[in-house]
Structure 1
Amino acid sequence: MSLIKKINNFFSKAESTSVLGVSLHQHSFAFFSCPEQGESQFQQISSPLAEHPQQIKIQQEKYQLQGQCHLVLASSQTQIVQVDKPNIPENELNAALKWQIKDLVNHSPEDMVVDYFDGPILSGGNEKINVVCASKKELLALIGPLNQNGLTLKSITTEEFAFASLLSVQDDACLMVCQQPNEEIILLIVKQGKVFFSRRLRGFAQISTKTEEELSLGIVDNLNLEIQRSTDYFERQLKQAPIRSIEVIVPMANEALLARKLAENTNVAVNLLTMPEGFTHSREFAVSLGATKLNNMEPII
């Protein structure tokens, strides 16, 4: 049973149709609120990561936030590692995974909350899983403000799944180039509504501050190199069919230029990700919005 299910067993609240998506960043957090009545709203709140629990409570009271809450952890709060899937019963997996990954992550098994999502089955039947790990202590500090005063915490997930939820389900593999404001870029490969591959890059957090000339003189080339490495791994190592398109969601003034420059070095279509209807101008809030639209995406923790 997931941590969220255990917590919700202690609460008996009528289901609300209001939804709240909260995405945490290193120096801020954002939320998307869609109440039963009234207009939807987005807000970005400056706050150090350690102060998020207190600030979330303040904003909940200020904006009277209610309903079903979906939380997206900051990338610095989670680690994702790929391991061989143990040959044990499913109900024993989470407990076993803590000890299998203890030397690969920064948390002790006693402070770990883990879950996993399946990776592709490699030739020879070797099955991989992607294990997501977070600190139990950090999660418990966040859960309180999001599970009281009219809020019910329904899911905790990662940026990867929140971004992927915005992509329509399709049979062909699609590579997503994703970024939250002032955070690092993430590369995802999504196929049939599932995350097949994810990679967190380094060195691109300030890409939105770069001029057209700076983007053209090296930055786009470096990003293209990372994209090529990822597609090569997906197609050659994982033995998957080639990707058919690239979708870009990197909210900045030169986003269209970035997409055009990426298109110059690939033979597949490169598009700006289409946001859900009514939210075309809310690209910087894609993750908090995506958290409320997980669809067939599994909440992680």
Structure 2
Amino acid sequence: MDVKQIAANFPFLKKKGQAKGLTALALVDGGVALAHVSSGKKSALTVCEFIETPSPFTDIKLLRDRIDALGLTGSQTVGVLDQGAYQLLLVDAPDVPDEEMADALRWRVKDLVGFDIENSTIDYIELPEDAYRGRSRMVYAVVAEKSQTERLASWIEELGLAPAVVDIPELALLNITKKLADEEAGLVLFHLGSPSSSVSLLSQEAMYFTRTLSYDVQHADLNPHQSASSAVLELQRSLDYYESQVGKSPCVKLLVLPIQVGETALMTELRSNLPLEVQSLDLVDVVTAEKALNVETQQRCLLAVAAACRSLLTSQGSTAK
């Protein structure tokens, strides 16, 4: 899987940006997360903030004015799709050249998606050669309705930005975590979201497995211990599958994202019931930022920061095979 990620095959208008670097936008509960990573020898996170608005797609002036005040107007921008706006499907790769893969996958997954395949945008994530013990070539097909991707791109353009790519959370997070999985022993990423969360398993800087979990971070507080117990069961099933079917060595570390404060019910349950070192990701440890990143900002802006950091991987010529 090339670090250009899925977004490269979801192309939109590419305009010459004014701000050097990459801007990213992610819709989160109650508003919009905005991040910008500058380019150059001393690349850094120069903007990271949450803009509160109940109606991001109609409150254009508020967002545009803030973007302009930050000097980001015209910059190349990544838009992060909501989890509910696409489907991620594990399938056998069609026996076709790479340049024909997306078209071939369209027919392979047409009966597996809940919308019209003819009006969909398709990309894929190729798994490493040793995944599934090398028995067959597997890929994750990523399928999104064109109406969703086009709406996101049009909105970005309305805000005075230059829509460059559309990304998904699972891949955006690799920008800031894959370097942490540089050994054979696996790393588990547990991304807390709403209405669902996700787990991704990495080894040697590559993603081997990912799936959606039913854990809803917004509803977890209603019954924290029960929710945490359910999350542990789902994670354990994923770990078992990773070893028995994907054929990888056991994972040794679990990273919870975004940052967690104190010994929450979830963190306690994870540490007590999983044979892993459990930690929470502090963006300060993986991103150079011009301003301090407090907990609330990290929790709201994680995906935007991760998406904006893809420019660092591209500029370094990194790849994830």
Q: TM-score interval w.r.t. the shorter chain? A: 0.7 to 0.9
Secondary structure, in 3 states, of the residue corresponding to 2:114? Answer: coil
Quick one: structure 1 residues 291 and 54, their matched pair in 2 at CA, closer, same or farther if it must change by over 3 Å?
same
Q: Which structure 2 residue ranges, 5 or more long, are not aligned?
A: 1-7
In 1, are the aligned partners of 2:215 and 2:231 still within 8 Å (CA)?
no
Q: 1 CA distance for matches of 2:280 and 2:208?
A: 21
Which residue among 93, 107, 111 is the counterpart of 2:101? 93
Q: TM-score, normalised by structure 1?
A: 0.83
Q: Which amino acid aligns with 1:164?
A: L
Task: Tell me whether 163-172 or 248-257 shows the greater mean CA deviation.
Answer: 248-257
> Superposed, which structure 2 residues align to 1:101-140 within 5 Å?
101-120=109-128, 121-123=131-133, 125-140=135-150
Alignment counterpart, residue 196 of structure 1, candidates 205, 208, 224: 208
Aligned with residue 307 of structure 2, among 291, 294, 298 = 291
Provide closer, same or farther for how the CA distance between residues 136 and 38 of structure 1 changes in structure 2, counting only shifts above 3 A.
closer
Point out the more displaced range, 27-36 or 265-274.
Answer: 27-36
Partner of 1:21: 24
CA contact (8 A) 1:220 1:261 kept: yes
CA distance in 2, matches of 1:38, 1:82: 34
Aligned to 2:244: 236
Partner of residue 224, structure 2: 215
Which residue of structure 2 lines up, in the alignment, with residue 260 of structure 1?
Answer: 268
Q: Which moved more, 1:108-117 or 1:27-36?
A: 27-36
**Counterpart Cα distance in 1 of 2:52 and 2:106:** 34
Structure 1 residues 233-256: Cα deviation after superposition (integer angstroms, max 9, x where no partner): 001111111111000114565665
| CA offsets 1:125-148 (integer angstroms, 9 cap, x no match) | 311100001111222222123246
| 3-state SS, counterpart of residue 267 of structure 1 | coil
Unaligned ranges ≥5, structure 1 = none
Q: CA deviation at 1:88?
A: 0.9
Give the structure, 1 or 2, with the largest relative contact order (CA under 8 Å, sep 6 or more): 2
- Residue 82 (structure 2) aligns with: 74
Q: CA deviation at 1:166?
A: 2.0
Q: TM-score, normalised by structure 2?
A: 0.78
Deviation per CA, 1:251-272, whole angstroms, max 9, x where unpaired? 5656655323311112221111
Of 247-256 and 29-38, more deviation after overlay is shown by 29-38
- Superposed CA offset, 1:11-53 (max 9, x none): 4x256314321112476432224579996241143436xxx44
Q: Secondary structure at the match of 1:206?
A: coil
Equivalent runs, 1:126-205 vs 2, <5 Å: 126-147=136-157, 151-169=161-179, 170-171=182-183, 172-180=185-193, 182-205=194-217
Structure 1, residues 143-189: CA drift from partner, whole Å, max 9, x if none?
12324675222321111112232215112310011124x44221111
CA contact (8 A) 2:37 2:308 kept: no
Structure 1 distance, partners of 2:85, 2:214, is 16
Give identity over the alignment, percent. 20
Moved more, 27-36 or 198-207: 27-36
The 3 A distance-change label for structure 1 pair 175 and 106 is same
SS of the equivalent of 1:82 reads strand
Q: Number of residues paired by the alignment?
A: 287
CA 1:134–1:59: 2 relative to 1, 3 Å: same
| Aligned equivalent of 2:3 | none
Give the distance between the partners of 1:163 and 1:236, measured in 2 at CA: 25
The aligned amino acid for 1:209 is D
Deviation string, structure 1 residues 43-81 (Cα, Å, up to 9, x no partner): 143436xxx443456512343142221111000101000
1:2 alignment counterpart: 9
Aligned counterpart, 1:61? 65
Structure 1: distance between partners of 2:90 and 2:206 = 16
- 1:247 counterpart = 2:255: yes
